[in-house]
Amino acid sequence: MKKDYRFFRVNLKEVKPYDPHELPHKIKLNANENPYGLPQTIQEEILRRAQNIDFSRYPNSLAQRLSEAISHSLGLSADHIIIGNGSDELIDYLVRTFSEEGKKVISTAPCFAMYKIYSQINGSSFVGVPLNVKDFSLNEEEILEEAKKKDASLIFIAYPNAPTGNYFAAEKIIKIIEESNCMVVVDEAYYEFGGKTFLPLISRYDNLAILRTFSKAYSLAGLRVGYLLSNPEIITEVRKVKSPFNVNTFSQLAAEVIMENQETLKTNVHRIIQERERLVVKMAEISPFKVYPSYTNFILLEIGDKDNTDLVFHRLLEKGILVQVTSDPTFSHSRYFLRISIGKREENDILLQELENITHDLVNKS
């Protein structure tokens, strides 16, 4: 007999537990992680300093040393920053701070999945405004139309966008900030791979916040550190919903060491950018699939319909290469893509070879 769980929250009905798509693989290109990991010297320094951690004490609640290191390196005071257990946690905080039951959170379609998931969990409804089907550009007028409705609360715009990898026109985002009357979060998770930022504008607008992470360029996805930058009034508001000890001491320490060694890590960021550019050119040469330019550490490859996309995904997986299938019915019912993280050169060569083999087989079959 089906039980009547009357005590379950209604708005969790449509939510499924998060599926990280973990499948056996040799080459992991599905989560936009940094393939190089932390340089040995940095890892050793983290472990050396970790010996002095007092594990019996709670972490510093505001991650004070890390907050100061990041904010000072950006020319800001520490009241402009809040550190999160990954930027995922900060997305949750933002929804809880600026939206509420019955209100709408707005983003693009497609967009980073967690905007919708945290909106649903928190009882807000989510609206994804489709990007232009031709070039993934922003439909700012449609976003503004949604934003001007009474129940609109919060807008997320990823810059560059995930999973499309492109930058939206800055003027369009500025128009949204100026005219929406909503809190606008510009998610710069991939900032270091493209270099453009809205950070200088946080002092000009009282409804703008910038989200960044240590998970991508800084090779720290496993320790979960992200940060939000905004004016002090916004930061104080977000602190109201923050768990008191949200970032553990070890992660705070690791991110501090990384901040002291940013220059060393830039070498790997440059390598990833070079590999990205090489892959885009090579993929365009060898495969019939459409490859899009990217300002991130991943590439979007348009395969076509669902069946073909599944086929390519499984053929790659058979060879141990794990990538991510992505589609968004709000954007298109018929367009399916593979989102492929940039790996090390030798991993990318194996990927290219496999794509070439698959293409060869598909052409011969047709």
Ligand X SMILES: Cc1ncc(COP(=O)(O)O)c(C=O)c1O
Site residues for ligand X per CB under 6 A:
32, 86-88, 112, 158, 162, 187, 189, 213, 215, 221, 226
CB of 213 to ligand X, least distance (A): 3
Nearer to ligand X, 161 or 287 (CB): 161
CB of 32 to ligand X, least distance (A): 5
According to DSSP H, which parts of 25-169 are helical?
A: 40-50, 64-73, 86-98, 113-121, 140-147
Nearer to ligand X, 109 or 286 (CB): 109
According to DSSP H, which parts of 122-225 are helical?
A: 140-147, 170-179
Nearer to ligand X, 93 or 112 (CB): 112
Contacts of residue 127, defined as CB under 8 A and 6 or more positions apart, other chains included, come to 104, 105, 106, 107, 146
CB of 186 to ligand X, least distance (A): 10
HSE-up (13 A, CA, CB side) for residue 199: 19
What is residue 169's DSSP assignment? P
Please calculate the CA angle 253-254-255 and round it to the nearest 5 degrees. Answer: 90
Strands lying side by side in the sheet with 226-230: 81-84, 226-230, 208-213, 183-187, 152-158, 104-109, 125-130
Q: How far apart are CA 80 and CA 199, in angstroms?
A: 11
Pairing of strands 27-28, 336-341: unpaired
Residue nearest to ligand X (CB): 86
CB of 158 to ligand X, least distance (A): 4
Nearer to ligand X, 255 or 257 (CB): 255
302 forms beta bridges with: 290, 337
CB of 339 to ligand X, least distance (A): 10
CB of 286 to ligand X, least distance (A): 27
Element (H, E) at 155: strand 152-158
Nearer to ligand X, 158 or 301 (CB): 158
CB of 1 to ligand X, least distance (A): 40
Of residues 247, 208, 197, 241, the one with CA closest to residue 227: 247
Nearer to ligand X, 163 or 287 (CB): 163
Nearer to ligand X, 251 or 287 (CB): 251
